[in-house]
Amino acid sequence: MSNILIVDDHKMVREGLQSLLNTTNAFDCVDAIGTLDELREALKNISYHLVIMDLKLTNESGLTGITEIKASYPKTKVLILSAFIDQYFFKEAKKIGVEGYLHKRTDFKFLKESIFQILNNETVYDEALKSYQSKPVQDICCQDLTKRQTEIINLLCLGKTNKEIGSALNLSEKTVRNYLSVIFKKINVSNRSEAVGCCIYNQKY
């Protein structure tokens, strides 16, 4: 049997998944933590066969943790479980060497099967990602944004709503929407999720 580690900054998500995996009685241990510092400590103490990692942690990037895992613990497999599914994350994840990438809405039966596949040296990618496997990622640089646009995209990457962005920068919601419309066109994306993915891919946000 195998040791599993869940890394997600949402307590209910990680503990819920931990509980579900424990009910299968298929793993020696299933641990759940919320930060990269906890990840580093956990990896020193236990040899994990699989780490299930969220991409966007509180003020941290899951890609940073994944990169560290692959550099220091190359035998440990990684499954990304994230609400962000797009080509920017996907290309970076494949470059790092992750074995799986699924959306958080994946039903538990499929997730469990995917975990077993990964532990058996297979790769598993969300259906929505398959069209990206042969599609090149556009060369987009968020560093071309103005100072104000950068402030807005940074807050967007933190999961802030237009209202929250406006409050933080003393702007109206309409002004924030207008800024985002210009930003999306400038970096050639069509929605908030793609914008976040683009900037994390290019800046390792």
Per residue in 42-88, pLDDT tens? Answer: 999 999 999 999 988 877 788 889 999 999 999 999 999 988 776 77
pTM over 0.75: no
pLDDT at 200: 60
pLDDT at 133: 53
φ, ψ at 170 (rounded to 5°):
60, 45
Q: In terms of domains, do 114 and 147 share one?
A: no
Residues 172, 102 within the same domain: no
Sign of dihedral through CA atoms 33, 83, 112, 125? negative
Q: For position 199, what pLDDT does the model report?
A: 67
When the pLDDT of each residue in the chain is averaged and rounded to a whole number, the result is 85
The residue among 157 and 185 whose pLDDT is bigger is 185
Query: Are 153 and 56 within one domain?
Result: no
Domain CATH number, residue 174: 1.10.10.10
- In which domain, by residue range, is 30 found? 2-132
Residues 47 and 78 in one domain: yes
The β-bridge relationship of strands 2-7 and 27-33 is parallel
Which of 106, 132, 158 is at the close of a domain?
132
First to last CA, the chain: 35
Residues 80, 115 contacting (CB under 8 angstroms)? no
* 31 & 118 share domain: yes
End position of a domain, from candidates 78, 105, 132: 132
Residue 189 near residue 196 (C-beta atoms within 8 A): no
How many CB atoms neighbour CB 158 within 10 A?
Answer: 15
Q: What pLDDT, on the 0 to 100 scale, is given for residue 202? A: 57
Domain boundary among 111, 132, 153: 132
> How far, in Å, CA of 123 to CA of 84, rounded?
18
Whether residues 26 and 111 share a domain: the answer is yes
Instruction: Quote the percentage of the chain above a pLDDT of 90.
Output: 51
| 114 confidence band (pLDDT: 50, 70, 90) | very high
- The CATH number of whichever domain residue 67 belongs to comes to 3.40.50.2300
In a domain, 199, yes or no: yes
Number of structural domains found in the chain: 2
Pair 43, 119 in one domain:
yes
